[in-house]
Structure 1
Amino acid sequence: MRTTMDRIAPIFLFLLLIIDTSTAIDTINTTQSIRDGETILSANGAYELGFFSPGNSANRYLGIWYTKISVMTVVWVANRETPLNDSSGVLRLTEQGILVLSNRNGSKVWSSDSSRPATNPAAQLLDSGNLAVKEEGDDNLESSLWQSFEHPADTLLPEMKLGRNRITGMDSYITSWKSPDDPSRGNVSEILVPYGYPEIIVVENSIVKHRSGPWNGLRFSGMPQSKPNPKYSIEFVFNEKEIFYRYHVLSQSMPWRVTVTQGGDVQRFTWIEQTRSWLLYLTLNTDNCERYALCGANGICSINSSPMCGCLNGFVPKVQSEWELTDWSSGCVRRTPLNCSGDGFQKVSAVKLPQTKTSWFNRSMNLEECKNTCLNNCSCTAYSNLDIRDGGSGCLLWFDDLLDVRILVENEPDIYIRMAASELDNGYGAKIETKANEKKRIILSVVLSTGILFLGLALVFYVWKRHQMKNSMLHSHHEILTSSMPLPLCFHIVLI
């Protein structure tokens, strides 16, 4: 019996070890650590957390990368500003729920933070690639203590939010690596601007390089390539608690990522297993008209025109000599100043809507209410529907110069630009909708209606009067005839 137990015990212990390892492969708690050379895997085996050296660098970083992809592709870096110079790094989780990365001397190289005190914290690498610190057994991400998805590097993964938490004030955005050998923050960032009506911008050295256009209910209006498709869907949320954009992959079999590059571009990739390479699915910088405000204020860019830049109808170059040298940065000014009460609107279709940083919006208005709101505010320069779905709804108003407008074929929604009445020309497709003209039309209609009524009454009275006079004359003539002539003659005349 003792011999049998001696044989079973090692096997039993080995099975316990396997079970313990398999159940904790994606998680560490306060009694565990990850050393250089060790990793943890997400439960689906898609992502791995551990230490790596980028490119030709000898520095060591804690990061997350794809497990099953042959090309080493890092999607998140913890200590991107504070590299380790050797392989002595250790990651631990404190009882307060804070991740701490230490070097050989035990000095802190990097640490996370925590939204509140922890009771029994654990750090888990989720199937989405998100490293989340939460109470052990709590799968609700909304109650997590910390998560890497809220502190992105240069990559936006599916389900990751790009935007602002309006309660905490924390912004989540992606920033390029400095170089392929250095994952520290580069000069290019993709940010969701939380002012006015939100839109995405790409910034390089604090200068805006690209703008997505406002959300139109289906996509960002300046990104027709991001319209609904069978590969992924885009979600935009704007409420009292948060403003964010994220995308959802419709097929989990193909890895997707969005990366901001050192060259100032934002690119969407998908992995093709047959070629074992990343396929560039789309890029934001498709042509020169994507360069932010290339044609200046109140200018419009057309990639099929030469030169590319022109002025919106009713506007002229501010500095003609500069435009002749193809320097359009000074933009355009109105040919005829606005007069407020005598202004109208010109409908412009198939364009990327202007910058919305200082715009105003209302979700419940219809287009007519939107027009009247703009018309009654002398500072309003243009208006548009907010949402193109179901025939259009909502209201978006602009109050400054119109920046970064370009032609986009079949783009929605239309924009109505405020113009002086003299500039409105139906021959150019302008729709005359002025407050003054409306009053004139009402007055003219009343005058014409009243005039027609009086003319009609006068005509009726005239016809009636003539009829009365004719009857009177006939009656008098009959009396004369019957009194001065013999009956046979009168009878003869009547017969004739």
Structure 2
Amino acid sequence: MKAFVALSWCLVLFSCDALVSSALDTITTNQSIRDGESLVSAGETFELGFFSLGDPPKRYLGIWYKKITSMTIVWVANRVAPLADASGTLRVTSRGSLVLLDGNGSEIWSSSPPTAARDPVAQLLDVGNLVVRDADGSDSNNFLWQSFDYPTDTVLAGMKIGWNRTSGFNRYLTSWKSVDDPSPGNFTYQLDPNGYPQIVLKQGSEIKLRSGPWNGLRWSGTPNLNPNPYYRYEFVLNEDEMYYRYALLNSSVISRKILMPNGIVQRFNWIDRTRGWTHHLTAPIDQCDDYNSCGAYGTCRVDTSPECSCLKGFVPKFSQEWDILDWSNGCVRRNPLHCQDDIFVKYSSLKLPDTRSSWFNASMNLRECEVFCKKNCSCTGYSNMDIRDGGSGCLLWFGELIDIREYNNYGQDLYIRMAASESALLPTGPSHQKKHKLVIGLAISFGSVFLGLVLTICVLQCKKKKMGLREVKKDRFESGDNYESEKEDLELPLFDLSTIAMATNNFSTDNKLGEGGFGPVYKGVLKGGQEIAVKKLSRDSRQGLHEFKNEVLYVSKLQHRNLVKLLGCCIQEENLLIYELMPNRSLDSFLFDPTQREQLDWSARFNIINGIARGLLYLHQDSRLRIIHRDVKASNILLDFEMNPKISDFGLAKSFAGNETQANTNRVVGTYGYMSPEYALDGVFSTKSDVFSYGVLVLEIVSGKGNRGFHHPDHHHNLLGHAWKIFTEGRSMQLLDKLVENSCSTSEALRSIHIGLLCVQRCPNDRPSMSTVVMMLGSDIELPLPKEPGFFNERNLLQENTSDSQPNEMTMTVLSAR
């Protein structure tokens, strides 16, 4: 009996040991982790084990968040040498190396061996760091090896990005090749040690994005990276190290920064199981984030059109190139330098120039910095290194100043070497300030009187104009001067009608690209060689002055790689909009054409899906105002020569300010088949209206078929209903256009269909935001199940909404494709 009891206790103890061992965070040289087993950090925040990716599936060893439902990978060991099956084993050698073995005992991956190891163990820490250490030591400075030194595509709190200056060891991010292939992609995110250090994003060897130098609070080119209650940012530069990292000040916050396969850097914060990961920051945000977009001594400002201009005292190096909006050769000084006679002019609110050809001294003040720079004729500018407490340190530039942009807030002061003849750019002295103030006062007084007279005349003219329009009941565009009063609202170049007529061969039919609700569109070439597309408001257009002005006001203020660029307008005898020419026209001309569709392989389609998402994210979140496009559809997506998508046609757009999230209208405009239920039926629109339209567009891109006019022999659903039906039956791949089957990534296609269905759910609150969509497209997180889409019950919307009697007595206006 005693023996039985003893045996029972042994079995209990053995069972307890087994349970404990299954949740260990540490293994020794006598233990291993096999496929199907894992290490779990002490606080159960992170887990290390094996997972599958790709088609056919491959096995990888990695680290992911433990408590989060979606499997979010933050580190991969064998990213270049995946296992073919579930036979992998992870061990710790007596020399202190981690080794990953396949079923034959062959080494697939190993960590670098330490210089010395007495009793090594491997431990997964609660910060997500896999470390090898001596069993009797846990000091982070004495780790024999750590995964934080070998990041893949993700930065976690406490992880260093930068250099060990003694050994030359560099820690940097490398993107995944695709969302289901963790092998190294073509993008890197690293600290550039040349000159004064700065973060650079590279595609291969080409710089795509630059953070600007560290100024004590943030990187100069990241004004939104302000101190807050959640993060502490740190930049360290000493004899031994140079690195950047962040720390979480609130232990309840879960945050990660990831370099996406497409080269976009994003930060995500975890909210809860319902809302999942939410987008927090993105880089690049706009075209001014593109490296050196305006050339030497050119400055980029996102809220002007065109966005590039020369700094004061500089002129375009080749004016004819600037006339056609080619800024690559930048600007030159208006007057040449003469070394010792030169002056230094202060420029404010800037992202500081590229510092790879700079020199710095932390102990010098700004006055000493100026003296030092003036003595060296090759020194072109100077600034403080640290902006805190009035400024300190000296940062000097040598050679041309490139990659400068202007901000409204948080920019820095830069002092640039100029010829003495440019003294007018210097601040006026005390003796001049009184005269200056007097002149300003007199100007304001006379200006006020003059402005009052002008306003009075304008009011009388407007009243007279309205009365005349009521009498003749003609379209307000039929007079030649009806837009003159709007000129001062236009913040972009005005073209002469003769210039555009010459460029389009007098609007020749041979130059006509197409026609929509706005009117005909013509291609043309300006005198300098710039190719353009010209939208001409036709006399019988269903749109009018409101849509024309809307397009001008919005597009001229928006700058993003996935938004079409408005070059200018004409408001003389004709109302014209002049755009950059998109040589591949609109998406619908490819997607719904039986022969052209073949040119859209899966890679191009997935790139278009991603690009449209990023463009809408900019409109909804990253632009100065929250902008609702209200007419997202295939014909309003233009394609450049590389088939990159550009969202166009902002004639129906609306902007929200402050905390506004939705609005009502009694004039429902847009295109049926893309309109959300709440907008089409009740006139309620929000960012989720655009999300619905985007979801329709995604399903069209995947299938190569339009939502309106969709037919299927087995049922009478539209495309949304068909996609929903086969999704619920587990047959989603049947939606895929057969022309892309051979070039398709199955995981990307299935994910795109799933995301499309999430976007077209009937209830706006169920649809994801565009920031979530971008995150879901660029990662392999688990997606929630979609609910039934809007308009699933085969409603005849067109008939319902063009009837004379409306339940809400609203006027329903349908504007078809333009």
If the length of structure 1 is used for normalisation, what is the TM-score?
0.84
**1:46-103 deviations in whole A, cap 9, x for unaligned?**
1111111125550000000011111111000000011111111111111000111111
TM-superposed CA distance for 1:11, in Å, is: 2.3
Task: Tell me how far apart the structure 2 counterparts of residues 347 and 44 of structure 1 sit (CA, whole Å).
Answer: 52
Q: Matches of residues 398-437 of structure 1 in structure 2 within 5 Å? A: 398-426=397-425, 429=427
Q: Which amino acid aligns with 2:110?
A: S
Correspondence for 1:22: 20
Q: How does 1:11-410 map to 2 (within 5 A)?
A: 11-12=9-10, 14-15=12-13, 18=16, 22=20, 25-54=24-53, 56-273=55-272, 275-410=274-409
Alignment check: 8 A CA contact 1:345 1:424 kept: no
CA deviations on 1:207-231 (whole Å, 9 max, x unpaired) are 1111111110111111011110112
Letter paired with 1:91: L
CA distance in 2: counterparts of 1:9 and 1:415, whole angstroms: 80
Deviation at 1:424, TM superposition (A): 2.5
Q: Distance in 1 between matches of 2:68 and 2:190?
A: 28
- Equivalent pair of 1:302/1:309 in contact (CA under 8 Å): yes
Query: How far 1:429 sits from its partner (Å)?
Result: 4.4
1:304, 1:240 → 2: CA distance?
41
Residues in 1 aligned to 2:418 and 2:411: alpha-carbon distance in whole angstroms: 21
Gap regions ≥5 residues in structure 2: 430-818
Distance in 2 (CA, whole Å) between partners of 1:409 and 1:240 is: 36
Q: Distance in 2 between matches of 1:393 and 1:380?
A: 19
CA distance 1:365–1:430, change in 2 (3 Å): farther
Q: Which residue of 1 aligns with 2:736?
A: none
CA contact (8 A) 2:95 2:114 kept: no
Deviations 1:14-63 (A, max 9, x none): 33663586377001111111111111100110111111112555000000
SS at 2:386 equivalent:
coil
Shift of 1:410: 2.2
Normalised to the residue count of structure 2, the TM-score between the two structures is 0.51
- More helix by percentage: 2
Residues 409-418 or 4-13, more deviating: 4-13
Structure 2 CA distance for partners of 1:19 and 1:374, relative to 1, 3 Å: same
Greater percentage in strand: 1
Give the conservation status (yes or no) of the 8 Å contact 1:379–1:399: yes
The aligned residue for residue 494 of structure 1 is none
1:305-324: CA deviation from partner (whole Å, max 9, x where unpaired)? 11111111121111222221
Secondary structure of 1:369 counterpart: helix
Letter of the structure 1 residue corresponding to residue 182 of structure 2: P
Equivalents in 2 of 1:336, 1:57: separation in Å? 65
CA contact 2:69–2:273 (8 Å) conserved in 1: no
Alpha carbons 1:359, 1:397 under 8 Å: kept: yes
Q: Deviations over 1:115-142 (max 9, x none)?
A: 3121100000001000000101311111
Matching residue of 2:542:
none
**SS of aligned partner of 1:225:** coil
Range with greater deviation from structure 2 (158-167 or 99-108): 99-108
Closer/same/farther in 2, CA of residues 49 and 297 from structure 1, 3 Å limit: same
- In structure 1, the residue matched to 2:4 is 6
Question: Aligned with 2:53: secondary structure?
Answer: coil
Query: Pairwise CA RMSD of aligned residues?
Result: 1.8
**Contact 1:424 1:430 survives alignment (8 Å):** no
Once residues 429 and 329 of structure 1 are traced to their aligned partners in structure 2, the CA distance between those partners, rounded to angstroms, is 31
The AA in structure 1 aligned to 2:119 is N
* Contact 1:388–1:412 (8 Å) recurs in 2: no
The runs of 4+ residues in structure 1 deviating greater than 4 Å are: 428-431
Tell me, what secondary structure is at the counterpart of 1:113? coil
For structure 1, list consecutive stretches of 5 or more residues without a partner in the other structure.
Answer: 432-496
- Name the SS of the counterpart of 1:230 in structure 2: coil
Aligned length: 429
For residues 57 and 127 of structure 1, the distance between their equivalents in structure 2, rounded to whole angstroms, comes to 32
Counterpart AA for 2:8:
P
Aligned partners of 1:302 and 1:291: how far apart in 2?
12
Whole-Å separation in 2 of the counterparts to 1:20 and 1:250: 36
Identity of aligned residues (%): 53
Q: Deviations over 1:322-344 (max 9, x none)?
A: 22121111111222121001100
Q: Partners of 2:304 and 2:12 in 1: how far apart?
A: 73
Q: Which segment drifts farther, 415-424 or 22-31?
A: 22-31
Contact kept in structure 2, 1:126 and 1:132, CA below 8 Å: yes
TM-fit CA distance, 1:412: 4.1
Range that drifts further, 95-104 or 149-158: 95-104
Kept in 2, the 8 Å contact 1:346–1:430? The answer is no
1:70–1:276 CA contact under 8 A, matched in 2: no
- Cα distance in 1, alignment partners of residues 56 and 151 from structure 2: 22
Paired AA for residue 86 in structure 1: D
- For 2:77 and 2:427, the matched residues in 1 are separated by 56
Report the AA paired with residue 174 of structure 1. Answer: L
Shift of 1:413: 3.0
| Structure-2 separation of matches of 1:14 and 1:178 | 48
SS in 1 for 2:213: coil
54-63 or 224-233, which moves further after superposition? 54-63
For the residue of structure 2 that corresponds to 1:192, the secondary structure is: strand
Greater relative CO (CA pairs within 8 A, separation 6+):
1
* 3-state SS in 1 of match to 2:267: strand
Shift in Å, 1:181:
1.2
- Please identify the structure whose Cα radius of gyration is greater: 1
